[in-house]
A and B are shown apart, each in its own frame.
Chain A
Amino acid sequence: MAPLILSRYTVVSALGKGLDETYRALRNRRSGLRPCDFEDAGIAAYIGRVDEVEDVLVGGGSASTGLEQFDCRNNRLALLGLQQDGFIQAAIEARERYGAHRVAVILGSSTSGILETEHAYCHRDPATGALPSSYLTSHRYTHNMFSSAHFVRTYLGLRGPAMVISTACSSSAKAFATAARFIETGFCDAAVVGGVDSLCLTILYGFASLELMSSGPCRPCDEDRDGLTLGESAGFGLLEKSEHAGQPGAVALLGYGESCDGYHMSHPHPEGTGAIRAMQAALLRSGLTSGDIDYIHLHGTATRANDSIEDTAVHSVFGPSTPCSSTKGWTGHTLGAAGVTGAVIAAICLTRSFVPGTVNTTRIDPKLRSYVLLENREQPVRRVLSNSFGFGGNNCSLIFGTV
């Protein structure tokens, strides 16, 4: 495929707001994970919570009125993301350059604003069981799966194609693939891509019930790893054709690969065949070979199964010498937003000649055969592959590089 320029990008996670704070936390190996202090969740685990989400006011933007109805934790986190690194201004410039109808909004989320519904169920009418009336009118703008894209396109005044992709933890990676297809087919000229997922009781108690959560901060690829840590994040990118935005040194999407395991709802294929298919498809589309990839940003959730099966898949495509690591020890697993978080970290690697190692991990599992980095590195990086694998066996690999 022709490279598509990521002309502006940003992320907010437990590491901080925007590119500089994210880079500094990665470089200084400062993890954003802390003991669970989300609402009154009695979960013996760590979380990657974003400070200040509670203080964000959902309002303003390009629409004069009506933004308040989108108010919920998920859209507050989305707005906090939009406000970093000049993203709003870049999106408005794209709108003026291409026209509002020619800029798409393709986002990923797994649970949208379900927290609002969780709260509403605690306030049902004792006699009738009815949900509070304020919830009934806001449901479309908060919990409905389209809510985050609806909010972002309304806020930015965009009128092009829009959707939320919800394939669990591969959601916002797949948003890049769909946006690339829409640009190539001419359904739009540019796209705001990315995703947002915020903490909620559903995922905390859900992952606890699956016994997939570590009681401490997660330790990707550690021989004693014992589960994931949940986090939250919002990330956005502006994807454009290179003839419009191709400055030398710009970060570009070079390829994507999508696949399914066709195996199990919550357990990856034991031989990693779906993951292998996604990585190979991404290489094929970018016209690159495995030797062209300088660094692999692993999905690396720190569950026993994920890290071991992803290792099998990575080793089978790349062999034992391509450096790889997981940043989940810094951010936690941000589910539907994990794909865009990985994409922005890939862009940081490319522009700052930096490769993150792995935090919280003390000894790399000797059974893993890929080249998993423990320590950070300072080195030129030209191409990065980032993996995202989700429940339902849904996989997406993205390749980014500089042009």
Chain B
Amino acid sequence: MELYINGIGTLGPGLAGWAGSRAVLAGESPLCEAAPPEPSASVLPPNEQRRSSETVRWALHVAQEAMQQAEADARDVASVFASSDGETGVLDRLCTALATPQRTMSPTLFHHSVHNAASGYWGIATGSQQSSTVLACYDSSFCAALLEAAAYVQIEERPVLLVAYDLPPPPPLYAARPLRGGFAAALLLTRTPAPHNLAQLDLALSDDLSENATSMDDAGLEVIRSGNQAARSLPLLAAIARQCVTLVRLEYLEDQHLVIRVMPC
């Protein structure tokens, strides 16, 4: 199945923004493991920026970067959001409140706890009424989202913004799900070539696991990749950055590989 990448947003340690990340992933500049800057998520009105969770701001920050790069109008673009663990910061506060005798819950906290908080805020910020799907597939969440986005682009013939994101949970939940660092990546996908194409993808599912899934050559990048489902997009992003024909294999659960042929545009 063929599709095109038209815009990319990234936020992670040493990988804040596509321009800088592209150079790192292409091997043109070294990975400087600086803590990523605070996401601006300026697409949100100031009062919503204050009320929204850090997770939402990470997701919307990269979403906005990909859309701006492609000069796309969000009102024409469907979205697929992928997060393994969702609003863990909110869930921690909520479960802490429920463990007290009063069980006092704030209504704002409750409606920020849903797994689709980022998707909801994206809709509110952009006014888009296009379909938005929010999914989880543990460490394969990015891969599942790429499959969902590709199927949507193909069948519905509409551009799709894919946003994958997860932040390390706060303690004590961190011990249950030790995600090493925050990461968010966004891709704008279209079915047909567009002026801002960064790459063409041809993807297929395969149950031939005889070859290893693609990892990162750079040890620092490999640590990032393996520590967060959203960072499992890095082999694909690196292939796009290098601008040469590359075959990327992403693990989809333990049973299949999503095999992606990446071609420069």
Query: Whole-angstrom distance from the CB of A167 to the nearest CB of chain B?
Result: 5
The yes or no answer to A394 lying at the interface (CB within 8 A) is: yes
Q: Is the CB of B98 within 8 A of A139?
A: no
Q: Is the CB of B172 within 8 A of A124?
A: yes
Chain B residue at minimal CB-CB distance from A390: B116
Chain A residue at minimal CB-CB distance from B255: A159
The yes or no answer to A61 lying at the interface (CB within 8 A) is: no
| Inter-chain contacts of A182 with B (CB < 8 A) | 147, 151
The yes or no answer to A352 lying at the interface (CB within 8 A) is: no
| Inter-chain contacts of A161 with B (CB < 8 A) | 144, 147, 205, 252, 256
The yes or no answer to A127 lying at the interface (CB within 8 A) is: no
| Inter-chain contacts of A174 with B (CB < 8 A) | 133
The yes or no answer to B128 lying at the interface (CB within 8 A) is: yes
**Chain A 133-155 residues near chain B, CB threshold 8 A:** 135-136, 139-140, 143-146, 149-150
| Inter-chain contacts of B55 with A (CB < 8 A) | none
Q: Is the CB of B124 within 8 A of A164?
A: no
- Other 11 A-B pairs with CB < 8 A, given A178-B151, A394-B132: A129-B172, A144-B177, A160-B256, A165-B135, A184-B151, A205-B98, A206-B111, A210-B110, A260-B123, A261-B129, A393-B120
Question: Complex formed: what's the CA distance from A206 to B107 in Å?
Answer: 6
Question: Complex formed: what's the CA distance from A173 to B156 in Å?
Answer: 17
Q: Is the CB of A258 within 8 A of B114?
A: no
| Inter-chain contacts of A374 with B (CB < 8 A) | none
Given contacts A144-B138, A166-B114, A265-B124, contact A260 B95 (CB under 8 A): no
The yes or no answer to A273 lying at the interface (CB within 8 A) is: yes
Q: Is the CB of A131 within 8 A of B175?
A: yes
Given contacts A121-B95, A136-B175, contact A206 B84 (CB under 8 A): no
| Most central of A159, A187, A263 by chain B CB within 10 Å | A187
Q: Is the CB of A258 within 8 A of B133?
A: yes
Pick the contact of B95 from A117, A211, A391 — CB < 8 Å? A117
Q: Is the CB of A259 within 8 A of B176?
A: no
Q: Is the CB of B84 within 8 A of A185?
A: no
**Residue positions of B touching A, CB distance < 8 A:** 1, 83-86, 91, 94-96, 98-99, 103, 105-107, 110-117, 119-121, 123-124, 126-138, 141, 144, 147-148, 150-152, 154-156, 171-173, 175-177, 205, 207, 252-253, 255-256
Question: Complex formed: what's the CA distance from A201 to B101 in Å?
Answer: 13
Chain A residue at minimal CB-CB distance from B121: A265
| Most central of A130, A166, A174, A261 by chain B CB within 10 Å | A166
A246-274 to B contact mask, C-beta < 8 Å, 1/0 = 00000000000011111111100000011
Query: Whole-angstrom distance from the CB of B91 to the nearest CB of chain A?
Result: 7
Query: Whole-angstrom distance from the CB of A85 to the nearest CB of chain B?
Result: 27
The yes or no answer to A101 lying at the interface (CB within 8 A) is: yes
- Band of interface residues on A: 35 or more
Question: Complex formed: what's the CA distance from A201 to B97 in Å?
Answer: 11
- The contact sample of 29 A-B pairs, CB cut-off 8 A, is A110-B115, A117-B91, A130-B175, A131-B175, A139-B176, A145-B83, A145-B115, A146-B137, A146-B141, A160-B256, A163-B141, A163-B144, A166-B134, A167-B132, A168-B115, A177-B131, A202-B98, A205-B110, A208-B105, A210-B110, A260-B119, A260-B123, A260-B132, A261-B123, A261-B129, A262-B124, A263-B123, A264-B124, A266-B107
Q: Is the CB of B98 within 8 A of A118?
A: yes
The yes or no answer to A209 lying at the interface (CB within 8 A) is: yes
| Inter-chain contacts of A162 with B (CB < 8 A) | 137, 144, 253
Q: Is the CB of B132 within 8 A of A159?
A: no
Question: Complex formed: what's the CA distance from A95 to B115 in Å?
Answer: 31
| Most central of B85, B128, B135, B144 by chain A CB within 10 Å | B135
Query: Whole-angstrom distance from the CB of B180 to the nearest CB of chain A?
Result: 16
Question: Complex formed: what's the CA distance from A392 to B81 in Å?
Answer: 13
- The 5 closest A-B CB pairs, nearest first, are A392-B120, A145-B136, A206-B110, A166-B115, A258-B131
Given contacts A101-B255, A135-B176, A206-B113, contact A259 B130 (CB under 8 A): yes
Q: Is the CB of A266 within 8 A of B131?
A: no
Question: Complex formed: what's the CA distance from A21 to B196 in Å?
Answer: 56
Q: Is the CB of A185 within 8 A of B113?
A: no
| Inter-chain contacts of B172 with A (CB < 8 A) | 124, 129-131
Question: Complex formed: what's the CA distance from A264 to B124 in Å?
Answer: 6
